[in-house]
Structure 1
Amino acid sequence: MEEGDVKTVSKTDNYTIKNEELSEKGEKEISWAEQHMPVVSDIKEDFESEKPLKGLNIGCCLHVTKETAVLMKTLKAGGASVALCGSNPLSTDDAVAASLVKDGIKVFAWRGLDEDEYFWCIDQIIDSEPNITMDDGGDFTARIHTSDRVPEKDIIGGTEETTTGINRIESMSKKGVLNYPVIAVNDTMTKYLFDNRYGTGQSTIEGIIRAGSTLIAGKTFVVCGYGWCGRGIAMRAEGFGAKVIVTEVDPIKALEAAMNGYRVMPIEEAAKKGDIFVSATGNKHVIGKKALENMKDGAMLANSGHFDIEIDIDYLNKIAERRTEIKPNVKEYKTKDGRKLYLLAEGRLVNLVAANGHPSDVMDMSFANQALVAKWLSERKNEEELENKLHAVPAKIDKKVAERKLGALGIEIDSLSKEQKEYLEKWEYGT
C-alpha cells in the first residue's frame, strides 16, 4: 500500500484511524468496560504508582475493542509508550480507536481494512521499535520475523493471546526461526477456562443471532472443534435449546463431547443434518468441499476461529451461481443445484464482526495476564535470559489473577490449615 492510499479521515505520523471525532463515543464505551474490568483497573492503579514499564515501547496487534483499550491505558499508566494495530480487518471499533488516540496512544487501525492496509498497519507498529510485543493470532510476530524494519535483538519478549497464534509460534519455535521468547498468555487457566469457554461461547451465539436473526431452539447446531472455544459454543447452543453435533479429529476430545451428551460424527455426515454450523479450530477448510456439497438448503455458516480460512469460501464461490448480500454480515449463496447457503460475517470472527466480542467481565482476566506478564518481562533484566521459544506464564501470575478476580466478585475461599499442609507434605501418612 502506498502512503497516500489510506482511505480514512484522520491520519498523522502517530495514528491512522477512521475519524478522530468519534473519540467521545469511544470514551463512553471504554468507561463501560472499565466498570466491568475491576482486576485490570486495580492493576492500573498499581502501575500508576510503580511505573514498572517506564522507558519501554510496547507494540500490540490486538482486536481494537473497548476491552483492549482498558489494557492499553493500563500499559501507558505503567510508563510504557504504546502502539496498537488491529489483529483482524473487521474487528476494530473506530470510536475506541479515536478515544485511544486522544489518550496519547499510537493507533493504526480502522474497520474494513483490505489485506495491504492490514499489513501496512502492522508495519507501523514494527516501526515503533517495540521492546515487548503483544500479538493475537501470530501475524505481528510472523511479520517481524520476515521484515528488516526493526532489529529483533531489541525485543526482550512477546506475548500471544489466542490458540491460532500459539500454534504458529510453536511451529516457529520447533523450526528454530523464533528470534525472541514468547509467553503463551492464551494457555493460562484464567484465560482459556474462561475467555475461550464462556467468552467465545456467549459472544459467538450473540453474533449468530444478531447477524442471522434466527431462532436457535430446535435447530441442529454443528460445532466443528471441541477445544475450549468449541466446548463453550456447544454449551451455550445447548442452553438455547439446540440439538448439538460435534465434529473432531482428536479422539480424546471427541470422546469427551460424546460423554457430555453431544452427538459426534464426521463433518461430511454432520453437513447433511445441520441447520447452523460454527467452526472453532484454528485450522484450514474445516468446513470443506464435501461438507458444502452435502449441506441442505438454508444452512447457515459461521466461523469463530481467528482467521477466515476455516470455511472453504473459494469453493463456496465456485459452486454458487449467484451471490446476494441479504443484509450486513449475511451473504446468500445460490448454488448451481438450487440450494441457498448463508455465510455470516464474511467467514471472519462472527463474535467480533457481527457482535461486540467477549464480555468485558471475562476479558478482565485475559488482559490482567497480559499486563502482569509485561511487568514480569520488564523485571527479568538481571535474571537468566529466556530461550527463544514459547514459554508458559508463571503460575504465580495465573494464581494472582484468579485471586484478584475472586476478590472483585466478593467471593471468599478456604485456606489450608497447618495440619492439612503437613498432611500433604508427608508421604508416610496413609489409611
Structure 2
Amino acid sequence: MSAEKSVVRNLNLAPQGRLKMDWAWNHMPVLRRIREQMIQEKPLKGKRVAISLHLEAKTACLAELLRDAGAEVAITGSNPLSTQDDVAAALVESGITVFAKYNPTPEEYKEHLILTLETRPELIIDDGGDLVSILHGERPDLLDQVLGGCEETTTGILRLRALEKSGELQFPMVAVNDAYSKFLFDNRYGTGQSVWDGINRTTNLVVAGKTVVVLGYGWCGRGVAMRAKGLGARVIVTEVDAIKATEAHMDGFSVMPMEEAAPLGDIFITVTGNRSVINGKHFPLMKSGAILANAGHFDVEIDKAALEEAAVSKRVVRKYITEYEMEDGRKLYLLCDGRLVNLVAGDGHPAEIMDMTFALQALCLLYVNDNHEKIGRRVIDVPYHLDEQVASYKLESLGIRIDDLTEEQEEYLASWKI
C-alpha cells in the first residue's frame, strides 16, 4: 500500500538505498537496542506517525524503528536538497509511505509536506517546524487528531516557542534539540565534522592557514569552530550574544563584528538560525575567492538576493559551487545555493552521532504518546531520565563503565547538613 501512495523519484534505486541503510544500522547500537524492545512491545501499534527530517540513511533507520514499534509511518524531507532518492525508494520497499524527491520544485516540496499531513498523523517528528507551521496555518482541519510530537532543531524550536507564547500551539511538543544527549554531541561533534566534510569534499581546498569566520557560537558554531582550529585555520567568531562571545574569546578565538571580519575571511560559515547575517553591506568588503557556506536550517542566513544584485555575472564552477563575479572583478563563491552544506554536499552527521539523537526522538515520541494529556499545549524539555537513558545505552555500546553513588553519598547530597 505504501508504494501506491508514495511519491518518489525511482523505485529501482531501492537496492542502493538499502545498502546505505544497512551500513547505518550497523553503526547505530543504541537505536538497535531500542528497536529490539519495540519489536517485542509494539508500543505504537495502530498509531499514525508523520516525519519531516533530512531523508537519508540514518533517518530511514528511525522510520523503520517506528514501523517496528507498530506505527503506520509517512515521511517527507525537511530540505529540498538533502533527500537521497535511493534511500526514499528503499523505505517504500520496507513498507513506509514516502513523499520526497531530491531537488523538488518549491511547489512540489510544499505538496510533499501536505501529503504527509494528509495521512492524518497522531504523532509527528518535525525538523525546522514545517509540519507544525502548516498544521497551524494552512491546514488546521488536520489538527484535531494530533496528540503531539518532537522537534529536532533549533530553528524549529524558535518557531514553536513563538507559537506557544502567542497561545496558538494546539498540542504538546518535546524540544529534542535542547536535550544534553542532542546538543552536546549532535550539534557540536556532528555539525562540526559534517560541515567540514561537506566543504572539503566540495571545494577540494586546504583549510590549514586560511581564516575561517564562524557566524554564531551556539553549540553548532562551537563545533564548526573547534574543527576549523583542528584543521589548522585561524578562526574568527561573530556573535550578538555577549555571553557566547566571551566564551568564544576564552576558547581562544578572535571575536569581532561581521563588518570587521568580512575583509579577513577566506571561508564564512553561518550557524545562527537567523536571516541575512551575511548581507549586502558585507559582500563589497570581502576578498576575491571568499567562500560562503551555510549550516543553519533554512537558506536565509546568506542574503542570496543581495548577492545576485551585487554580481555582474554568475556561473557554476563545480558541483554545488556558484561563482559570483563582482563589478570590480572580485569573485565570491556560494556553496550549495546557501542551503545546508553538510547535507547537500555531504552525508550529514556521522551515524554514531545520529544514533543518540534518533534514540531520543523515538523515546520522546513514546513519552508524548503516553503523556500528551498531562503535558498540555506547550513545549517541554526532554525528561532527564530519557536523556540519561540514551547516554547510558551509548556508554554500554562502547564498553565503558562508570561509578554509581553509594547510599552514603546519596544521603549526603540529599541533606543540608555538613
TM-score normalised to structure 1 length = 0.95
Question: Who is 1:8 aligned against?
Answer: none
CA drift at 1:142: 0.1
Q: Among residues 302, 315, 319, which one is paired with 1:324 in the alignment?
A: 315
Q: Among residues 406, 414, 417, which one is paired with 1:425 in the alignment?
A: 414
Q: Is the 8 A contact 1:52 1:378 kept in 2?
A: no
Q: Is the 8 A contact 2:3 2:93 kept in 1?
A: no
**1:59 and 1:20 mapped to 2: Cα distance?**
21
Q: Alpha-carbon deviations, 1:149-193, whole Å to 9, x = none?
A: 643121110110000000111111111111111110111000000
Q: Alpha-carbon deviations, 1:102-155, whole Å to 9, x = none?
A: 001000001111211111000011100000011000111101111236431211
For 1:208-223, what aligned pairs fall within 5 Å after superposition?
A: 208-223=199-214
**1:147 and 1:257 mapped to 2: Cα distance?**
41
Paired amino acid for 1:318: E
Question: Who is 2:267 aligned against?
Answer: 276
Question: Who is 1:15 aligned against?
Answer: 6
Q: Among residues 47, 64, 87, which one is paired with 1:56 in the alignment?
A: 47
* Unmatched 5+ stretches in structure 1: 1-10
**1:171 and 1:378 mapped to 2: Cα distance?**
23
**2:214 and 2:371 mapped to 1: Cα distance?**
42
Q: Is the 8 A contact 1:297 1:339 kept in 2?
A: yes
Question: Who is 2:392 aligned against?
Answer: 403
Paired amino acid for 2:318: K
Q: Is the 8 A contact 1:158 1:182 kept in 2?
A: yes
Q: What percent of counterpart residues are identical?
A: 49
Question: Who is 1:290 aligned against?
Answer: 281
Question: Who is 2:156 aligned against?
Answer: 165
Paired amino acid for 1:127: E
Please state whether the residue corresponding to 2:355 is helix, strand or coil.
Answer: helix
Question: Who is 1:363 aligned against?
Answer: 354
Please state whether the residue corresponding to 1:286 is helix, strand or coil.
Answer: coil
Q: Is the 8 A contact 1:126 1:150 kept in 2?
A: no
**2:139 and 2:211 mapped to 1: Cα distance?**
50
Paired amino acid for 2:172: P
**2:26 and 2:140 mapped to 1: Cα distance?**
38
Paired amino acid for 2:345: A
Q: Aligned residues, how many?
A: 417
Q: Among residues 90, 95, 98, which one is paired with 1:104 in the alignment?
A: 95
Question: Who is 1:193 aligned against?
Answer: 184
Q: Is the 8 A contact 2:176 2:182 kept in 1?
A: yes
Question: Who is 1:255 aligned against?
Answer: 246
Paired amino acid for 2:139: D
The answer on 1:311 being equivalent to 2:281 is no
**2:169 and 2:158 mapped to 1: Cα distance?**
13
Question: Who is 2:170 aligned against?
Answer: 179
Question: Who is 1:374 aligned against?
Answer: 365
CA drift at 1:418: 1.5
CA drift at 1:327: 1.4
Question: Who is 2:291 aligned against?
Answer: 300
Question: Who is 1:5 aligned against?
Answer: none
CA drift at 1:289: 1.4
**2:283 and 2:163 mapped to 1: Cα distance?**
32
Q: Is the 8 A contact 1:334 1:340 kept in 2?
A: yes
Q: Which moved more, 1:139-148 or 1:213-222?
A: 139-148
CA drift at 1:13: 4.3
Please state whether the residue corresponding to 1:82 is helix, strand or coil.
Answer: strand
What is the alpha-carbon root mean square deviation over aligned residues?
Answer: 1.1
